Amino acid sequence: MLKRKVFVLVERRADYSRYKPILTRMKVDPFFEIHLVVTGICLLDLHGKDINYIEEDGFEIKARLPMFDQYKVDSGGGMVKAMARVLDSVVDELERAKPDLVLSGFDIGGNFAVTIAAAHMNIPVAHIQGGEVTGSIDESIRHAMSKFSHIHFPATEDARNRLIRLGEDPKNIYTVGCPSIDVIVETESYPKKELEQEFGLDFAKPFVIMIQHPVTTEAKSSLNQIRETIAAIKSVGVQAMVLLPNNDAGYMDIIKEIKHSGLMWVPSLPTIKFINLYRNAWAIVGNSSSGIHESSTFKIPAINIGNRQMGRERAENVIDVPYDRVEIEKALRKALFDQEFRKFVATIKNPYGEGNSAEKIVDILKTVRLQEDIIQKKFYE
């Protein structure tokens, strides 16, 4: 029986959470052979070493590619050196694996590296969630990845239309939604009492999840930015679970401030615990794409702070605020205690899909043509 070997590289929890439902389906389908490579902060203790969770989920890891010198990447230059390191090593891994296709995605450095490498090596690239608009260096990386890719899986029609305006061929663009919604829908329940006991929470009282990453174009402001958010959460006096940020430039100031804040924090969490904490949260606060992509599926408000998600499509549960403790506190009080707003949020629809993205992506990957002409790209007009 013919097989299709698919190469996937995972750098951090943000890309693994979206790849997981796709990998799960490919794993049980004899048509696919998965070549899974792990790099980035998934290998670092400081960030929770998510490679352990990937293995616990039952996926075979074909290679580990060191990307970061722990504690030594906290600058734009450090990010570039890390990307260069994984770009160099992933070439050898692609030559060893000889995949039929690279499944890449999002706006993450390691995925950018494998996309560039595969395109130069005449390996077709399928890219997830191109065409979206955000702030920071992420915007440039995502659009650049789209230009190096051959098959596109945008989440929304708006993103699809933007890819066409970027010169991508409409016949190679498939609107599929965001696969992180699949994870929410498919993750089994975890006993509330056990979560409450493990983390010292009371879900009957206001509880928020906070995820705040550095903004690479504002790296020098990271310390002041996180201080404003922490001050607002403390002022409201709400229960909070803080997840440590990724390691983009400016991250160490954020981590140090979180660890000295007195708020409960974890470097990372297994999917089942994170999703079930999310299900019991009253709101999410910070600048993570999770607040944009996923919070409306949970029917909870999202307080989105600053420019990191600027311009991204969002449901009406999102409250946009600047890095100002007074404005963040006001948004928190609306999200937690404004009953009319909370009732409205319970009725909204997620523009990023209903939880069937992975099925669509896998079905397309089974049937899409991978003949040589697909890698002969030109600007579509």
CATH architecture of 4-179+355-375: 3-Layer(aba) Sandwich (3.40)
> Two tokens at 95?
């030559």
Cα angle 10, 360, 166 (rounded to 5 degrees) comes to 70
Q: For residue 172, is pLDDT > 90? A: yes
Q: Do domains 4-179+355-375 and 190-345 have the same CATH topology?
A: yes
Task: For residues 147-160, give the mean pLDDT.
Answer: 98
Task: For residues 201-212, give the mean pLDDT.
Answer: 98
Task: For residues 117-133, give the mean pLDDT.
Answer: 97
Which pairs with CB-CB distance under 8 Å and at least 24 residues apart come from 148-151?
Answer: 148/115, 148/116, 148/118, 148/119, 149/104, 149/115, 149/119, 149/125, 150/119, 150/124, 150/125, 150/126, 150/374, 150/375, 150/377, 151/124, 151/125, 151/126, 151/127, 151/364, 151/368, 151/374
208 neighbors 238 (Cβ within 8 angstroms): yes
- Domain locations in the chain as residue ranges: 4-179+355-375, 190-345
Write down the pLDDT at residue 69: 76
Task: For residues 156-164, give the mean pLDDT.
Answer: 97
301 neighbors 341 (Cβ within 8 angstroms): yes
Q: Measure the CA–CA gap between 42 and 57, rounded to whole angstroms.
A: 14
pTM of the prediction?
0.94
Write down the pLDDT at residue 1: 56
**Cα 92 → chain centroid:** 26
Highest CATH level, class, for 190-345: alpha beta
Predicted confidence band at 372 (pLDDT cuts at 50, 70, 90)? confident
